[in-house]
Structure 1
Amino acid sequence: MAVPFLSILALAVAVVHCYPAAFQELQPSSSKYANLRVSGGFVRPSVATRLFPAGNRSSIRFLAVGDWGGVPYPPYVTPVQKTTAREMSKVAEQMGADFVLALGDNFYFKGVNSVDSPRFQETFESVYTAKSLRVPWYVLAGNHDHAGNVKAQIEYSQRSDRWKFPSYYYELDFRIPNTGKTLSIIMLDTVMLCGNSLDYEDEKPRGPVLEVEANRQLVWLQERLARSKADFLLVAGHYPVWSISEHGPTECLLQGVRPLLVQHNVTAYFCGHDHNLQYLEELGVGYVVSGAGNFLDPDVRHKDHVPAGSLKFFTGQASTLGGFVHAEVTNDKMILTYFQAKGTSLFQTVLSRRQFK
């Protein structure tokens, strides 16, 4: 997608509705909540959502997993999904998890057709059953979800006490307990931005179905990034900006999103789409690929298509049995730990708090 920046700005006044970020602090009492900023072609008032009790600790902890969506035939789950879910529950119990970022491709292979789909039970509720995973799951849509009815997934938020998918794209604002520092996460719909990709063909997005909607989201993103004073600022989408694996870098995001990540000193970009675990760094931004929740792919065909020296970690080997990322955001740093489903950590890195001039 190549959209002239001036034409994007011309849409801003008409389509962007701005609210100042209202950071809420995690409390032991359930009376306090995190602020959820909602937008997706329309804007509703902020929606409150429950979070794991903060107690006396001084960090926010979460898991990030993508491409976790089972299969559309019995038993509706894969061995990788089951082992990954089991290890997620152990890590969440031992290291803590206030919420889960679900990075798209929530239901293979064609999403769901209605809010009454049995897949919600078969592939989600009946798989992630541990008490430690009974926390909010903040959801975004992937290309396989867009092959079905994404609105049905959004509607399911009204039926589940942990499925949080208020709109196609939205913002989360948290206050890190007992620190005075803040964390914001901007959840994108990269399929709306870039178009769907047809697996088993060239696997590249073909451009947005509705360019006006793509422009609207890009304007919204630019505005939210420009206004953010969060100490840690994350962006999440399904498609990768950088990846060395089968799908490779997403040209649309390289043109439209990457410059904004760099310009606004974003801490990290989280995604899935490629079915493995990767960590890359470029121009001060961390790129987290966590797409090993259901399948595994060791493909590295795009290893020469990322900036030299940017790749810091990669695994897609079947022997890992799956994988995910644990993040802990403290007063001055974000610690990322990559786990394989067979029970050990594989890689850890530390990202610093944003610095403002």
Structure 2
Amino acid sequence: MFCFKMALAVVSIFTAITVAYCFPTAFQELEETGKNRTSIKFLAIGDWGGLPYPPYITAVQKTTAREMSKVAEQVGADFILALGDNFYYKGVDSVDSPRFKDTFESVYTAKSLRIPWYVLAGNHDHVGNVKAQIEYSQRSNRWKFPAYYYELNFHIPNSQKTLTIIMLDTVMLCGNSDDFSDSQPKGPLREVDANRQLVWLRDRIAHSKADFLLVAGHYPVWSVSEHGPTQCLLQKVNPLLIKYNATAYLCGHDHNLQYIEESGVGYVVSGAGNFLDPDVRHWNHVPKGSLKFFTGQASTLGGFVHAEVTQDKMILTFYQAKGTSLYRTVLSQRKLN
């Protein structure tokens, strides 16, 4: 398995590895693969993590969950990408935390949302116990969080095409950020862990033959809102996205919906799952002409993204929780070098 080989390769550089940070590569099975299916569909939602006191959810989370269930039922969804800040404000303390029930299981109850949730950690999750969230994968049949960072591979039904999603831990890579002082992370807690993840990412993205390659993390590469572009990711991750023709980068962190396109890569911010923020203080800090869509207005009641990956394109649709789509764009299949 790749992770074991990689561990051997880097052990002499970074000292002994004590935690399984990455996850063996394998193809995920879609639950329904009929003869007429020709695409993969999923939802992407970030910053959906409720509140640490009763009722443990927000109005935005509740209305967004309801609209997610409708879109998943009517349009279709095979899985959900949970893009971090899963539990406000300090994550969970143990795998037995009641927050798993109060903020997750009791909120996303619709049958259409009882599908795999592929989870990554955000800065608020890292204040608590991320290992507990990983361990919860053994307690829930839909919570899929196998490691701090990992890779997902899918066959697009009735085709020879493939989709790969690389799930990152951008907090481990860049450091935690204090939302109440300076929004930029100050550097990783452990340099060895950050370097190990970066070595892994470089290898996976450089060798990927996937027809559609997505990278997901909590922090944005580009954002016009409160937190703005993440300098660490601009330096360490963005050059890889551009060099290897990644299809898109998906994230949360800023509590709104954004679509930015630059150098052939789509940058999706889907952080409107629990709070809304119309802040645009970094409007001029993204490449000129790259911002294609933004909304953080309270009137939307929340929002999320629906993606459909077909044999030759990826269709992204941005939904508001009050029941209509706001923006749609199409991304092409990768051109492999």
Give secondary structure in 2 for the equivalent of 1:214.
helix
Q: Distance in 2 between matches of 1:94 and 1:301?
A: 36
The percentage of aligned residue pairs carrying the same residue is: 77
Within-5 A mapping of 1:87-98: 87-98=67-78
Q: Which residue of the other structure, out of 161, 164, 167, is the alignment partner of 1:184?
A: 164
Q: Quickly say closer, same or farther: Cα 1:225–1:118, change in 2 above 3 A.
A: same
Query: TM-score scaled to structure 1, two decimals?
Result: 0.89
Q: Distance in 2 between matches of 1:192 and 1:163?
A: 21
Per the TM alignment, residue 13 of structure 1 is displaced from its structure 2 partner at its CA by 2.8
Q: Distance in 2 between matches of 1:77 and 1:341?
A: 15
Query: TM-score scaled to structure 2, two decimals?
Result: 0.94
Q: Quote the RMSD (CA, aligned, Å).
A: 1.8
Aligned position for 1:14 = 10
Give secondary structure in 2 for the equivalent of 1:286.
strand
Aligned position for 1:163 = 143
Whether contact under 8 Å (1:68, 1:293) holds in the other structure is: yes
Residue segments in structure 2 that go unaligned for 5+ positions in a row: 1-6, 13-17
Per the TM alignment, residue 40 of structure 1 is displaced from its structure 2 partner at its CA by 6.7
Q: Which amino acid aligns with 2:33?
A: A
Aligned residues: 326
Q: Distance in 2 between matches of 1:44 and 1:305?
A: 35
Q: Distance in 2 between matches of 1:40 and 1:65?
A: 27
Question: 1:283-309 CA distances to partner (integer Å, 9 max, x unpaired)?
Answer: 010000000000000000000100000
Q: Which amino acid aligns with 1:289?
A: V
Q: Which residue of the other structure, out of 289, 307, 312, is the alignment partner of 2:269?
A: 289
Where does structure 1 differ by over 4 angstroms across 4 or more consecutive aligned residues? Answer: 39-50
Per the TM alignment, residue 204 of structure 1 is displaced from its structure 2 partner at its CA by 1.3
Whether contact under 8 Å (1:61, 1:327) holds in the other structure is: yes
Residue segments in structure 1 that go unaligned for 5+ positions in a row: 1-10, 17-38
Q: Which amino acid aligns with 1:54?
A: T
Q: Which amino acid aligns with 2:261?
A: E
Whether contact under 8 Å (1:66, 1:292) holds in the other structure is: yes
Q: Which residue of the other structure, out of 25, 32, 35, is the alignment partner of 1:53?
A: 32
Per the TM alignment, residue 355 of structure 1 is displaced from its structure 2 partner at its CA by 1.3
Within-5 A mapping of 1:1-357: 13-15=9-11, 41-42=20-21, 45=24, 51-55=30-34, 56-357=36-337
Per the TM alignment, residue 44 of structure 1 is displaced from its structure 2 partner at its CA by 5.6
Aligned position for 2:4 = none
Q: Distance in 2 between matches of 1:46 and 1:226?
A: 15
Q: Which amino acid aligns with 1:13?
A: A
Q: Distance in 2 between matches of 1:304 and 1:75?
A: 38
Q: Distance in 1 between matches of 2:328 and 2:284?
A: 23
Give secondary structure in 1 for the equivalent of 2:226.
coil
Question: 1:261-303 CA distances to partner (integer Å, 9 max, x unpaired)?
Answer: 0001000000000000000001010000000000000000000
Whether contact under 8 Å (2:23, 2:149) holds in the other structure is: no
Q: Distance in 1 between matches of 2:106 and 2:132?
A: 19
Q: Which amino acid aligns with 1:294?
A: N
